[in-house]
Amino acid sequence: MIKIPETFNKYGYTFKLLQRTDKVALYEQSKLVSSNLTVKQYEVHLIRLQEECVFKDTVFEEHEKLSGKKDFGLFGWSYHEYENAIKKFKELVEEQNV
């Protein structure tokens, strides 16, 4: 199975995995906007599994999946402050362990 990436680039931002469990991930999202200013935000995701599938004769291996744009509010959340992101991360970890 393919795991979620530790780092990736999307929408002009660099995403860095800060913490994860089997079911929850916390990413730092950063972007250099000037020579001395980096903007940071945070994303919390429920990690979901995408089963192996075949599309147009191509086999896609089973892999972990992060939230897409349409999934935010259900499986993903975005925060400007780290404190709010880590709070949501801990809440989701607690819920997943029940």
**Three-state DSSP string of 16-76:** EEEEECCCEEEEEEEEEEECCEEEEEEEEEECEEECCEEECCEEECCEEECCCHHHECCCE
Query: What are 4-29's pLDDT values in tens digits?
Result: 999 999 989 999 999 999 999 999 99
Q: How far apart are CA 10 and CA 29, in angstroms?
A: 9
Q: Residue 80 in 3-state DSSP?
A: coil
Query: What are 29-40's pLDDT values in tens digits?
Result: 999 988 889 999
Q: Which two tokens stand for residue 68?
A: 């897409």
pTM: 0.89
Q: What is the DSSP letter of 1?
A: -
